[in-house]
Amino acid sequence: MTMAKLRWGMIGGGEGSQIGPAHRLGAQADGLFEFAAGALDHRPEAGREYAQRLGVAADRAYGNWQEMLASEKDRDDRIDLVTIATPNSTHFEIAKAYLEAGFNVLCEKPMTMTVEEGEEIVRVAEASGKICAVNYCYSAYPMVRQARAMVRAGDIGKVRLVVTNFSHGHHGDATDADNPRVRWRYDPAMAGVSGQFADCGIHALHMASFICDDEVKTLSADLASTIASRELEDDAMINFRMEGGTVGRLWTSSVAIGRQHGFDIQVFGETGGLRWASEQPNQLIYTPVGGRTQIIEKGEGGLHDEVQRLSRVAIAHPEGFPLAVANIYCDLADAIRGESRDGLPGAADGVRSIAAVHAAVASGKADGAWQDARPPMFR
Ligand SMILES: NC(=O)c1ccc[n+]([C@@H]2O[C@H](COP(=O)([O-])OP(=O)(O)OC[C@H]3O[C@@H](n4cnc5c(N)ncnc54)[C@H](O)[C@@H]3O)[C@@H](O)[C@H]2O)c1
């Protein structure tokens, strides 16, 4: 049976943007979506022109998201999914408007700026019956799914401790701190209450929850601006506890010169340990207690079904970031067609992250006092 492609639209992700190409490659990698509509740039003409160069029909290459919404909602061939890949402060307004108009949404992280907005998105998505996914794309790497499946299968026993880092050095040059592309991230007027933790740390926190199959309950934070001109933190150390009692440690930094992507995680259980790093995404390191350390490779036999489903090329062939994003789109295509997908990060994950960000800021201001990290709706 041939299945018609789903129709996909994107807002933001214009020419030269950081995340736009990963969405375009990801959405189209498996022939599941066709790129049908877009409002790709904050400059209307540039957005229209670029969308057409990418193959979008002229009447669906829009100047802004409002125009796209007004036109798409009345079309018989309206888009099945819209991706929101604009700067953070615009996510809430756009996601809410599209969900209310009955569109499925994939929103970039952080989903919203405040916990209240995040809770509203959860409610609006529920009321609409539409999907609101959030692009915690690292959780869609096959070997991260393998780690979660192994934890669920009891391969490392009850998880005692999870340690994760998302620390890079790309904003570590003080002489570049005034570069407008860097500066806004540490300016509360543009970035909100948090810099590095809201930008990168929440990926690591989500990953900890995802692999441990548990939620963050409380946290204590030390936030630092190691470059003095920065108002928001460029480095943070977060201690946390999960609902099931697991102890968590998270370090996130943008001044860790020499660390490139710098995202890794280790999970320590009563009978074994697991380690995964985004710079070697095809390998999961597993050590059973008292046993030998093993390298589990994407593509080898005996992996969990979920991992086989999301692997495309043969063992030891690199499969990287855009295909992790493509895995989010595979899960979304299934979900849109009515088959629920357990690993797909949703609006609840989105609001949990925002609540953790605000809790970390409160803790940082209170000398590390422990805070409830959960949004009120999940307490
Ligand atoms: N999931 C991930 O791993 C990941 C990685 C990078 C960025 N992101 C997120 O993606 C989002 C975009 O980040 P980026 O680094 O690509 O930013 P960017 O500044 O590189 O690109 C932003 C794009 O959005 C366009 N834009 C801005 N306002 C718009 C509007 N109102 N309507 C339509 N288009 C608009 C800009 O013209 C530009 O093309 C952010 O929320 C960021 O946190 C996520």
CA of 180 to the centre of ligand 1 (A): 15
Please choose, from the candidates 355, 374, 333, the residue with its C-alpha nearest in 3D space to the C-alpha of residue 140.
333
**Global pTM value:** 0.97
CATH number, domain of 155, equals 3.30.360.10
Query: For residue 371, what are the β-bridge partners?
Result: 219
In contact, 182 and 171? CB cutoff 8 Å: yes
Task: Judge if 115 and 162 occupy the same domain.
Answer: no
Residue 323 forms part of a structural domain: no
Query: Are 154 and 70 within one domain?
Result: no
User: What is the extent of the structural domain holding 166?
Assistant: 141-312+347-365
Residue 340: the pLDDT is 87
- C-alpha 139 to ligand 1 mean position (Å): 20
DSSP state string for 317-329: S---HHHHHHHHH
Residues of the chain whose pLDDT is less than 70? Answer: 1-2
Residue 43 domain-assigned (yes or no) = yes
128 lies in the same domain as 145: no
What's the start-to-end Cα distance of the chain, in Å? 45
Cis previous bond, 281, omega within 30: no
* Atom 29 of ligand 1, residue of closest alpha carbon: 42
State the distance from the centre of ligand 1 to the C-alpha of 351, rounded, in angstroms: 19
Please give the pLDDT value at position 181: 86
Q: Are residues 215 and 69 in the same domain?
A: no
Q: Of the residues 18, 170, 261, which should be mutated to test ligand 1's pocket, given the most ligand atoms within 8 Å of the CB? A: 18
Q: Is there a single domain that holds both residue 292 and residue 357?
A: yes
Residue 212 in any domain: the answer is yes
- pLDDT per position as a tens digit, 115-126: 999 999 999 999
pLDDT (0 to 100) of residue 2: 66
Q: Do 244 and 186 share a structural domain? A: yes
Across the chain, what does the average pLDDT equal? 97
CATH number, domain at 126?
3.40.50.720
Query: How do residues 259-295 score in pLDDT, each as one tens digit?
Result: 999 999 999 999 999 999 999 999 999 999 999 999 9
pLDDT score for 260: 97
Name the strands in the sheet holding 104-107, side by side, starting at the edge strand that comes first in the sequence: 33-39, 6-12, 81-85, 104-107, 132-134
Rounded Cα distance, 375 and 243, in Å = 13
21 occurs within a structural domain: yes
Other beta carbons within 10 angstroms of residue 55's beta carbon come to 11
pLDDT the model gives residue 373: 98
CA of 182 to the centre of ligand 1 (A): 14
Tell me: do 76 and 213 sit in the same domain. Answer: no
**Rg of the chain taking only CA atoms, in angstroms:** 20
CB 188 within 8 A of CB 231: yes
Question: CA-to-CA distance for 257 and 193, rounded, in angstroms?
Answer: 24
The predicted structure's pLDDT at residue 258: 98
Q: Extract the tokens encoding 85.
A: 């890949």
Q: Which of 105, 137, 169 is the last residue of a domain?
A: 137
**Same-domain check for residues 158 and 297:** yes
Beta-carbon contacts of 116 under 8 Å, excluding residues fewer than 6 positions away, are none
Do 212 and 76 have their domain in common? no
Round to whole Å and give the CA distance between 234 and 38: 33
CA–centroid distance, 5 to ligand 1, in Å, is 25
114 and 156 in a common domain: no
The pLDDT value recorded for residue 221 is 98
Cα(248)–Cα(209) distance, rounded to whole angstroms?
10
Å from CA of 59 to ligand 1 middle: 23
107 and 243 co-located in one domain: no
DSSP for residue 343: T
Report the nearest atom of ligand 1 relative to the CA of 39. 33
Last residue of a domain, one of 76, 105, 137: 137
Tell me if 371 is assigned to some domain: no
> Are both 241 and 285 inside the same structural domain?
yes
Name the domain count of the chain.
2
Q: Which residues line ligand 1 (CB under 6 A)?
A: 11-14, 17-20, 39-42, 64-65, 85-88, 90, 108-109, 135, 137
Structural domain includes residue 274: yes
Interhelix angle for 91-100 vs 115-128, to 10°? Answer: 20
Which residue reads 């740039």 in tokens?
41
pLDDT at 144: 98
- Is the residue at 377 inside a domain? no
Burial (CB count within 10 angstroms: exposed 0-12, middle 13-18, buried 19+), residue 324: buried
The answer for residues whose C-beta is within 8 angstroms of residue 377's C-beta and 6 or more apart is 119, 122, 351
Q: Going along the chain, which residue ranges are E strands?
A: 6-12, 33-39, 81-85, 104-107, 132-134, 159-167, 216-224, 235-242, 247-253, 263-269, 272-277, 283-288, 294-297, 371-372
Residue 376 included in any domain: no
Which one of 96, 113, 137 terminates a domain?
137
